[in-house]
Amino acid sequence: MSPFTSALALSGGSARGLTHLGVIQEIERKMKFDLIVGTSMGAVIGGLYAFHGNSTKVIGSFKELFENKIFLKAANSVVDEKAVFVGPDGFFNRFIWLFRQGIFYTRTMLQMDLVGAEPLEELLGMLVPDVLIEELPVRFAAVAMDLHTGEEVVLTRGPLRRAIAASIAIPGIFPPVRVGPRTLVDGGWADNVPVAPAIALGAHFVLAVDATLEIASMTPEPGSAMEILFRCSEITRILLTRHRKSFADVLIVPEIGDMSWGAFSSIDQCMEAGRAAFRENLPAIVRQMRIRRLRTCNGAIHPGRNSEWRSHPLVFEGTP
């Protein structure tokens, strides 16, 4: 068996991350990957695909979830259907809207999250199987961030459901997750396109999919001090993501226009964007994978690249 290892790195992005479903539809028709590393929504989709190995089952699971009353209730507590959020940075706009209504200030001063632990656990129980990461048919890792140290934590063993819960724990929306002595939150605040963890886990070739927004797509200039604060925070995350994803051998960025972070009903549109992006990039993927095979002597040299990707520390953990 060839030692050459290929990896798929899936970004966060909430509903925008549903484009990953279209990407994996195309992947399973043409090739397979040895390792999947995901952040936030990328961890959910990547973990489910590592378990099922079938995109149809994964897509079916999501569609069932989105029709579930518990999901709809949880989503409505964060996304107001009457509010209009212009541009793809709906997450940023949502906080501004909540702040203006006095909701964000009141609720976040009194509690740790907008969606409690019980509804989240129930939703994950419907979607994510109760299995161990190390028992998955395909190697998988989920990325989270340590709330106290700021370290990027890569979860490679233990319960899959708990690892995903940590990776999707959006600060202020979902509760932090305790993993041993660590308190973990959404990995998107440390590494939204987890290429470096994939390389550290042995990948010689990394295909990354980025479903997040860019600065140019953000809404017009903010009109208040709070809007400036949130916007600057989001810009910092975007700039960090640019650096993180630059280590990928091939980067796919699906075109989904001004879709907001909470547009879960747009799953079909997202999947089509993912399929189209993969087909467009397929020649580059095949070419770069061939080049990486040559440069690594078919996997005999690891990682067969410069050490720049090691510029930030990684912590590898399991979930108890």
Catalytic positions are 40, 186
| Residue 319: CB atoms within 10 Å | 25
How many angstroms separate the CA atoms of 130 and 125, rounded? Answer: 8
Tell me, what amino acid is at 285?
Answer: I
Q: Which alpha helices (DSSP H) does 111-261 contain, by range?
A: 117-127, 160-167, 195-200, 225-245
What residue ranges in 95-223 does DSSP mark as E strands? 139-146, 152-157, 177-179, 182-186, 205-209
**How far is CA 138 from each of CA 49, 163, 175, 247, rounded to the nearest angstrom?**
8, 16, 28, 22
Q: At what angle do helices 90-101 and 103-110 cross, to 10 degrees?
A: 90
How many angstroms separate the CA atoms of 221 and 236, rounded? Answer: 16
Tracing tokens 């069932």 back to the chain, one arrives at 64
Question: Are the CB atoms for 223 and 183 separated by under 8 Å?
Answer: no
